[in-house]
Amino acid sequence: MTGPEASCLAFCDGRTARLMPAAQDHKRALDGDGGLNTGGMGAYSPAPCVTPELHREIERMCVRTVEKMAERGTPYVGILYAGMMLTPNGPSVLEFNCRFGDPETQVILPLLETDLYEVMIACCDGRLDDVDVRFRENASAATVVCAARGYPESYPKGMSIRGLDDAGAVDGVKVYHAGTRLDDDDARIARCNGGRVLAVTGTGSSLADALAASYKAVSQIAFVDDSSCNDDLMHHRTDIAKGAVRRRLRIGVLGSTRGTSLVPVIEACANGTLHAEIVAVVSDRSSAPILEKGRSLGVTVTTKFLSAKGLSRDQFDAECTSVLVGAGVEYVLLVGYMRILSKGFTDYWAGRCINVHPSLLPKHSGGMDLAVHQAVIDNKETESGCTIHEVTEEVDGGPIVVQKVVKVESGETAESLKAKVQALEGPAFIEAIRKKCKTTVSYADAGVSIDAGNSLVELIKPSCKATRRPGCDAELGGFGGLFDLAAAGYKSEDTIIIGATDGVGTKLRVAHLTKKHESVGIDLVAMCVNDLIVAGGEPLFFLDYFATGKLDVEEAASVVRGIAEGCRQAGCGLIGGETAEMPSMYAPGDYDLAGFSVGAVHRDRVLPQNVSAGDVLLGLPSSGIHSNGFSLVRKLVEKANLEYDSSCPWDKNAGTVGDSLLTPTKIYVKCCLPLLNEQLLTGLAHITGGGLLENLPRSLPSNVKAEITGHPPLPNVFSWMKQISGLDDHEMLRTFNCGIGMVLIVKKDCVDEAKSLLREAGEGVIYDLGVLTDRQGSEEQVEMKSNLA
């Protein structure tokens, strides 16, 4: 077998297994993996060669092994040490051992967040599934073994060990004792008593940081012969994890054909003349031979066919970016790629994507394959060649990186010229990679900016503080938000807690395209708190989740300012949230939102309550489409040949189509709370997706139905959509709110008082929708007795 080796350790409870981060160790005594084999001169974890996909596959192998042992009546409880080789055909087990490996143990355990004792007891009790076995994210550990000079052959013992306190004082360092003993006369002195004496482990946010800490601590230590004062009796390797830290540039390839030009790049990566590695090969054609070249590179290379069927150019390119980023690609090569790339792709990979063109650009730009070579011959040009250029939105128009020239001979054919030019494409790629690529990568290079996240927190703090209310302080930056129910006026034994969660749906796409983001933050709050009020609850606090491929601080801050404004309108505190930057999950420029709100209601005031025939239905107007049905809305805009910056056809005062569609969802909390406090309502219905016909029945008992006799005329935006879509009244009413955002169910003798309180709260328009009547059998629960005008 051939391939890198990795040490993969798993906790086992006799039924299942949980894999720890993979480690790699250095067995040879000397730098450069020279000298004799030892018990280990150093190690590091996590090992970059074990990708997340390989980690999952290896864990499945360990789990299956433990399951099979249990089936045959020999359940294994303890640490399963799997020595793995990552072969081109997948991971293979070299050996199983029943122990923690040394020195791998010293780099794995410092990364364990869960209490080790808790994990071990769970293994012994057969309940490993009940324990959340967690390891530190974005952290690494590296161990350097300090050995007696001469190890693993004959070596001295008894030397005093100096500098242990100084080494242990280095931030992030633990010093593990192996071949040591205390001095017979002075217990303050440690002495060497073996070949491998100490293991000095450093931890840090990166492998480089961990190594720096470890080696800094090692530099404080000396093994001293007290009789001769010789302090040169310690040996350690100086190149632990050197190959992993100085790792090679990670290249991704997009190709549609044979990928002949890729072969020299593969060879240069393999023989070390190019400090790079190909980690992903993606094709838009399932039969493209370039995929076989990717598979031949081994299991650690992501080789994938992506179908473009049914996808727009932007969508397909976003899929490609997701695969490339997921494989950790830093630089992209286009090798015989037969697609025009979108602006989103070229912007995301700007300066990090190169293409080969079979001519001396700018000559014959836009041409392809044999047509280019034939054009050179027809124009009687004496020179041709290939050009490596950066990829931009302009086809073949990016900055030139490298050009290689060939002579056009008499009698040349397009085929013969192609062969000459193609022979230069691989070397040109190699030269371009050397010129343009860097060889180190940070968390930011992977697409995640810690600084941007910190900046966002500081930027949104004032908006969050503006949502203060009794019970919360709206401070950000901790691990959770606190709320004091007593301070808000609720006693725990009399209180029901209500939770609601929602998103904004594809209305976000309109915000993306118009670059107007604040209103969707209000939408997010509205969709949650309007649901809380329907249960009779007062919204107390709100949390948001903002996920994106690449964090744009100003854009995210705009969204959060909208969320804070929504919380202000609802009277609830914005006490925290989560911002997740995930390049492998979202296409460049995209983000998604989710909101979570918690409210409270006195136990005896939960709605609906005592809803019955004779109750009156009042309607409160919506502010527009709110946040439902936007997949259809966007199709209607497209059908009408409108752009989002077009003048609004249904409202001349609204500005653009986008401005009108982004009108935020109305928040009904403050107008409904007075009626709840006076116990005037028997029920409420928030009219969202499904419209009046689907949402009102959710607040009605099965023995009553709603007779709608006074539905108001359709607002202009809904009339326009009805006309463009061709939908009838029924479909409109079960798709959109059609101008009614909230329905109030009121006892007949409380209607006047309810309307008075609503007007005091600022509601200028209140619709008399109808009444509740007895339902006969399986009648529809909403009967429309008025048409939509």
Q: What is the mean pLDDT of residues 293-309?
A: 88
Domain 248-436 indexed as CATH 3.40.50.170: yes
Residue 586 pLDDT > 90, yes or no? no
**Contact between 530 and 569 (Cβ < 8 Å):** no
User: Does 183 have pLDDT greater than 50?
Assistant: yes
Of the two residues 87 and 212, the one the predictor is more confident about is: 212
Residue 722: name the closest of 636, 780, 784, 630 by CA.
636
The CATH number given to 140-247 is 3.90.600.10
pLDDT at site 32: 80
Q: Are 156 and 149 in contact (CB under 8 A)?
A: yes
Name every residue whose Cβ is closer than 8 Å to that of residue 37 and which is 6 or more positions away in sequence.
27, 28, 29, 152
Res 584: pLDDT: 62
pLDDT 10s digits, 49-101: 887 778 888 999 999 999 999 999 999 999 999 999 887 677 899 999 998 87
Q: What is the per-residue pLDDT across 48-57, written as a single tens digit (0 to 9) for each?
A: 888 777 888 8
CB 582 within 8 A of CB 547: yes
Confidence of residue 111 (pLDDT cuts 50, 70, 90): very high
**pLDDT (tens digit per residue) in 343-359:** 989 988 988 999 999 99
Backbone angles phi, psi at 77, to 5 degrees: -120, 125
**CATH superfamily entry for domain 616-784:** PurM-like C-terminal domain (3.90.650.10)
pLDDT above 90 for 590? no
Contact indicator for 653, 723 with CB cutoff of 8 Å: no
pLDDT tens-place string over residues 125-137: 999 988 989 999 8
CA distance 708 to 738: 13
In Å, the largest CA–CA distance within the chain is: 108
Residue 211 CA: distances (Å) to CA of 200, 287, 442? 10, 45, 16
Residue 743 has pLDDT above 70, yes or no: yes
Q: Give the pLDDT confidence of 184-210 residue by residue, as tens digits.
A: 999 899 999 999 999 999 999 888 889
515 backbone φψ class: left, alpha, beta (φ>0; ψ -120 to 50): left
Provide the pLDDT for residue 367: 86
What's the CATH fold of domain 450-605?
A: 60s Ribosomal Protein L30; Chain: A; (3.30.1330)
Mean of the per-residue pLDDT values for the chain? 88
Do residues 356 and 423 make contact, with C-beta atoms less than 8 angstroms apart? no
- Tens of pLDDT, residues 530-548: 999 999 989 999 999 999 8
Q: Is 115 helix (H, G, I), strand (E, B) or coil?
A: coil
Residues facing residue 597 across a β-bridge: 500, 542
Pairing of the two strands 190-192 and 616-621: unpaired
- What are the tens digits of pLDDT across the range 428-471? 999 888 876 543 333 344 344 444 545 545 554 565 566 566 66
Please state the φ and ψ torsions of residue 422, each to the nearest 5 degrees. -60, -30
What residue ranges do the domains of the chain occupy? 1-137, 140-247, 248-436, 450-605, 616-784
Which range scores top for mean pLDDT: 271-280, 486-495, 604-613?
Answer: 604-613
| Closest to 704 in 3D by CA, of 676, 720, 682, 674 | 682
* Exposure string over 536-569, b if 16+ CB within 10 A, otherwise e: bbbbbbbbbbbbbbbbbbebbbbbbbbbbbbbbb
254 — pLDDT class (breaks 50, 70, 90): very high
Residue by residue, DSSP assigns 424-443 as HHHHHHHHHHHHH--S---T
Q: pLDDT band for position 323 (50/70/90)?
A: confident
Pick the CATH number of 1-137 from 3.30.2350.10, 3.40.50.280, 3.40.50.300, 3.30.470.20: 3.30.470.20
| Residue 772: both structure tokens together | 């509740």
Q: Buried (b) or exposed (e) across 210-231, using 16+ Cβ within 10 A?
A: bbbbbbbbbebbbbbeeeeeee
